[in-house]
Structure 1
Amino acid sequence: MPTNPPGGLGHVPVAVYSCATTSTALGESEERGRYYADARHWHVAGVWSDPDLALPLAERPGWQAVTAALSAGMIRGVVVSVPTHVAADAAQFAALGVLLRDRGGFLADASNGIPARRTPGQARRRHDIADAASGWFTQPDTHEEGAS
């Protein structure tokens, strides 16, 4: 019996997979995949990547590790930050999704779940606003004792 609520939310082990030529692009892809999984309360059981998009998907070592993890039951789904990391077009992506579904898994496209980029100053400002909203003041002269 599944322990996950309807709608795909819950503790579901997934892999985040990406394929890019630079470490910066790989890092951004991983971040986007993790963000997408976290938003659904999925557990990221592993992150795999490959550096060569020209190599056929079945021959990529990272993708082979992902499919091995799926076959072993270590993961139930694969999150990719961009569909082109695993398929040339939408039809191929859909066919790959069907293949993974036949193996008991699923394929998720995180390209719509892009995390908001914030500068350190914006992040600090959001933190200060949250503190102020909760009644916590970081500067002693900001809050006057006895004021209503």
Structure 2
Amino acid sequence: MPNNPPGGLGHVPVAVYSCATTSTALGESEEHGRYYADARHWHVAGAWSDADPALPLAERPGWQAVTAALSAGMIRGVVVSGPAHVASDAAQFAALGVLLRDRGGFVADASNGTPGRRTPGQARRRRDLADAASGWFGQTDTHDEGTS
């Protein structure tokens, strides 16, 4: 099975992992990670979380489940909504990336590169622009003035 890079597109099974002290923060983090994975057409095979960031990463039950899924071949990568969920600094996050890569996987930081959410008016305007650029001029009255 090829190891697709974190920026690549494809049907790659991934886990979404988060660690935060409140259920609200955990929910938002999971949603952010799922959105990031969906934007890349990655299949979210599972979402795990831990509620105690003070615990070392290796001792967290949710992280242990993620590494077990990676070892079993259920997932190819891990999506986190920010490096702070799994590391205390950039060097530690990079070391984790190397460790997962050595096991045939990857870690993806969803804090950058997630497309912003668009309103229906913005999506319609983008579609109209794409149609115009391709030479397709369907109905000319489809774009409402106040919705962009």
Bucket of the pairwise TM-score, normalised by the shorter protein: 0.7 to 0.9
Aligned amino acid, residue 62 of structure 1: G
The amino acid of 1:106's aligned partner reads F
CA–CA distance in structure 2, aligned partners of residues 91 and 2 of structure 1: 26
For residues 54-93 of structure 1, give each alpha carbon's deviation from its aligned partner in whole angstroms, at most 9, with x where no partner exists: 0000000000000000000000000000101100000000
Superposed displacement of residue 114, structure 1: 4.3
Q: Work out the CA distance in 2 between the residues paired with 1:4 and 1:34.
A: 18
Query: 2:66 and 2:40 mapped to 1: Cα distance?
Result: 20
1:59 corresponds to: 59
Structure 2 unmatched ranges of 5 or more: 129-137, 140-148
Q: How much has 1:2 moved relative to structure 2? A: 3.6
Q: Identify the residue that residue 80 of structure 1 maps to in structure 2.
A: 80
- Which amino acid in 2 is paired with 1:28? E
Partner of 1:45: 45
- When residues 2 and 103 of structure 1 are mapped into structure 2, their CA distance, relative to the original with a 3 A threshold, is closer
Aligned length: 132
**Shift of residue 113 of structure 1?**
3.5
CA contact 1:79–1:108 (8 Å) conserved in 2: yes
Q: Contact between 1:32 and 1:115, CA under 8 Å: does it hold in 2?
A: no
The verdict on how the C-alpha distance between 1:87 and 1:116 changes in structure 2, with shifts beyond 3 A counting, is same
Q: Relative to structure 2, which stretch is displaced further, 106-115 or 34-43?
A: 106-115
Q: Distance in 1 between matches of 2:89 and 2:12?
A: 27
- RMSD value over aligned CA atoms? 2.7
Runs of 4+ in 1 over 3 A off after TM superposition: 1-5, 113-118, 123-127
Matches within 5 A, 1:1-148: 2=2, 8-114=8-114, 116=116, 123=119
- Structure-2 change in CA distance of 1:53 and 1:3 (3 Å): closer
Cα–Cα, structure 1 residues 3 and 105, in superposed 2: closer, same or farther, change >3 Å?
A: closer
CA distance in 1, matches of 2:120, 2:35: 20
Given the superposition, is the C-alpha separation of residues 101 and 21 from structure 1 closer, same or farther in structure 2, using an over 3 Å criterion? same
In structure 1, the gaps of 5 or more residues are 136-148
Name the residue aligned to 1:138. none
| 3-state SS, counterpart of residue 9 of structure 1 | coil
Percent identity between matched residues is 83
Deviation at 1:116, TM superposition (A): 3.5
